[in-house]
Structure formats: structure tokens, C-alpha cells
């Protein structure tokens, strides 16, 4: 499917993300943009003028979850800590209510899933696999806010084994969302590729906490959470470059992207596509602005395509 959202006049921004032909490289980070709520709040134009070239849904789990106790958000210098805790309708609720609606989006939908065991992941992928509305599946092995005891995303062997289990379940692209909370994300990415992943995305949030100065107790209801926003961008950039150097599959880079220049830097670090996350909380159209600024930045770089920038910088 080709989506050509607000193309720049002269630069071809389109990218191929493991078989998904996207109009430009800017996606949303899972859980940072609620497409259904946006349509409810702003009307049909929110989807007609959709800021992203593909939509990644908020992570779902097999059963419904209420999420973490409040407060769930804390603002930091140049960033934000979230402790949302995966509230969602569960697989059946998502398939019945949300996915049919998301199928009306003008861009491909990537469904993000998280299980606490191989069996749970399998159930989720088996549930999504037959749905035409889903162009791909993102396997979230990196949520910092769930004490599952599952260490899939922290351990290369576990990651390879999970992918080997899931690969036969669907022909749809499997994208593995990596955690930054390990010493060597590149070894986990390489294991995901060996297991059959079609792409990796990174970074998820960095483990973090805040202390309430009045009580000297943890601010967040769950005690800790995950840090995102510009505060993590330099870390994300290093991890994207390290992962992109270690794998042959496409990389979706994210972490504090707020401008077209930020996006271009992630492309130069090896990202085939990028995602805007925390910036969308302040401005739901941040993704559209990043896409326009990226086009302008590419013009300034001599009219190169994203793929040419990536190839040149990674040579």
C-alpha cells in the first residue's frame, strides 16, 4: 500500500519498511498518539490529514488491563517519565472495537502486542494474523512498566527463541521493539534478526523515577517508570547507530525526535524510518511538522532521499 501524505514538491520521501511502502519515513511511537480519540476530538479531518505514514497502535495484551495507579506522568527537564502500565481492552476487545475502526485510516496499521510468555505472544499474533486491517505486528519486548518476570527483550537467546516460535504464525512483518535498558541492544537486535524478525524499532523508554520533594516518597503511583523526550535523544541515536551497524533488517529509530533535523540525524544513524512519540503529547501535529522539516532538511542536503542519506552515512 502506498501512502503519500503531504509530499514535499521535489524530494521523494517514500520508504520501504519491510514490504510496507510508506509515503514518508515518520511513524508514531506506540502509545503516544490515540488515533481513535483524535478523530473523536477533531473530527474526520484528523484522519484525512493524518500526521504519520503508518500508525502503530498502543500495545495490547491477551486480557484487559487497568494500568498502573496514578499519578502516571512526571515532567522532567527535557523529557517525561510515564508509568502508564499498559491499560488496554485486551485482544478480543481490540479486535472487536478498535482494529475495524483503525482499518479506515489512510495509512497501514501496525499492531503492537505484549505477552508474558511465548504462549501469550503466540495467542496475540495468531489473533492479529488473519486481520486484513493489520499490515504488521510490533512485538513489544521492552515495556519498562510491567513486572512480568519475562526477560525476552533483555536476553538475546530469549529474543531469538521467541521470534523462532512466532515466525511461522504469520507472513505479516514482525517488528521487534527493543529496550534501551541493556548493555548491548545490538546483540538483542541481531538475535531478533536471526529468529526471523523483519525489522527492529528502538528505543523504548529508559527506566527512571522521580521523588516528590514534599513527601520524599516516589512521585509515580507505581514507584518508577520510563523516561522519554529530548533528554534521551543522544542515547537513542547511539543505540540506533549501533543496532543498524549490527543488522541487515530495517531499523525504526526513535527517542526524543522533535524536529526534521532530529529525524535526519536518526536516518544518518541508520534508521529507515523514524517515530515521533513524546512530542505528539504537546502537539498532535508534531509528526506532520517533522515530516515537512525533514523534507526541507533533505533539500538542504542536496536533494538526497532518506535512503541515500542512510547509505552515505553508514558507508
Q: Min. distance of Cβ 81 from ligand RRO in angstroms?
A: 9
Spatial separation of the C-alpha atoms in residues 175 and 217, rounded to whole Å: 38
Q: Min. distance of Cβ 68 from ligand RRO in angstroms?
A: 7
Annotate 66-78 with DSSP letters as a single string: --PPSP-EEEETT
Nearer to ligand RRO, 228 or 272 (CB): 228
- Residues 6+ positions from 209 with CB-CB distance below 8 Å: 81, 218, 219, 220, 223, 224, 225
Spatial separation of the C-alpha atoms in residues 127 and 113, rounded to whole Å: 10
- Residue from 143, 200, 210, 231 carrying the catalytic annotation: 143
Nearer to ligand RRO, 3 or 83 (CB): 83
Q: Min. distance of Cβ 166 from ligand RRO in angstroms?
A: 18
227: helix, coil or strand?
A: strand
Please give the grid coordinates belonging to residue 271: 534508521
143 assigned to active site: yes
Nearer to ligand RRO, 3 or 59 (CB): 59
Nearest to 298 by CA among 260, 270, 266: 260
Buried b (16+ CB within 10 A) or exposed e, 278-310: bbbeeebebbbbbbbbbbebbeebeebbbeebb
Spatial separation of the C-alpha atoms in residues 16 and 221, rounded to whole Å: 41
Nearer to ligand RRO, 199 or 309 (CB): 199
Rule CB under 6 A: which residues touch ligand RRO?
31, 59, 82, 84-86, 140, 142-145, 204-205, 226
Q: Min. distance of Cβ 69 from ligand RRO in angstroms?
A: 12
- Residues 6+ positions from 38 with CB-CB distance below 8 Å: 46, 47, 284
**Alpha helices by DSSP H, 110-269:** 118-128, 156-166, 185-195, 233-246, 260-268
Nearer to ligand RRO, 170 or 181 (CB): 181
Q: Min. distance of Cβ 179 from ligand RRO in angstroms?
A: 9
Nearer to ligand RRO, 80 or 249 (CB): 80
Nearest to 260 by CA among 276, 236, 244: 276
Q: Min. distance of Cβ 314 from ligand RRO in angstroms?
A: 27
Positions marked active-site: 143
Amino acid at each position: 500500500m502506498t501512502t503519500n501524505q503531504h509530499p514535499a514538491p521535489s524530494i521523494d520521501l517514500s520508504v520501504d519498511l519491510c514490504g510496507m511502502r510508506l509515503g514518508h519515513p515518520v511513524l508514531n511511537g506506540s502509545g503516544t498518539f490515540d488515533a481513535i480519540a483524535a478523530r473523536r476530538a477533531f473530527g474526520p479531518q484528523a484522519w484525512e490529514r493524518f500526521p504519520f505514514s503508518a500508525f502503530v497502535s498502543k500495545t495490547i495484551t491477551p486480557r484487559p488491563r487497568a494500568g498502573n495507579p496514578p499519578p502516571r506522568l512526571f515532567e522532567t527537564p527535557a523529557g517525561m517519565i510515564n508509568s502508564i502500565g499498559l491499560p488496554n481492552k485486551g485482544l478480543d476487545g481490540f479486535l472487536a472495537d478498535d482494529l475495524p475502526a483503525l482499518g479506515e485510516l489512510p495509512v497501514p496499521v501496525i499492531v503492537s502486542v505484549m505477552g508474558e510468555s511465548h504462549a501469550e505472544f503466540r495467542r496475540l499474533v495468531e489473533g492479529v494474523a488473519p486481520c486484513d486491517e493489520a499490515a504488521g505486528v510490533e512485538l513489544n519486548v521492552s515495556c519498562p512498566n510491567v513486572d512480568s518476570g519475562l526477560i525476552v527483550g533483555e536476553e538475546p537467546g530469549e529474543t531469538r527463541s521467541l521470534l523462532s516460535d512466532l515466525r511461522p504464525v504469520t507472513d505479516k512483518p514482525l517488528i521487534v521493539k527493543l529496550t534501551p535498558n541493556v548493555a548491548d541492544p545490538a546483540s538483542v537486535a541481531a538475535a531478533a534478526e536471526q529468529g526471523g524478525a523483519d525489522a527492529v524499532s528502538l528505543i523504548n523508554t529508559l527506566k527512571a523515577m522521580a521523588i516528590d520533594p514534599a513527601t520524599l516518597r516516589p512521585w509515580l503511583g507505581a514507584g518508577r517508570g520510563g523516561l522519554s523526550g529530548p533528554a534521551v535523544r543522544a542515547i537513542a541515536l547511539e543505540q540506533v547507530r549501533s543496532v543498524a551497524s549490527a543488522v541487515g533488517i530495517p531499523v525504526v529509530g526513535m527517542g526524543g525526535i522533535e524536529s526534521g533535523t532530529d529525524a535526519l540525524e536518526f536516518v544518518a544513524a541508520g534508521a529507515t524510518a523514524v517515530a515521533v512519540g513524546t512530542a505528539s503529547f504537546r502537539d498532535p501535529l508534531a509528526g506532520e511538522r517533522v515530516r515537512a522539516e525533514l523534507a526541507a532538511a533533505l533539500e538542504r542536503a542536496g536533494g538526497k532521499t532518506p535512503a541515500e542519506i542512510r547509505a552515505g552515512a553508514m558507508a
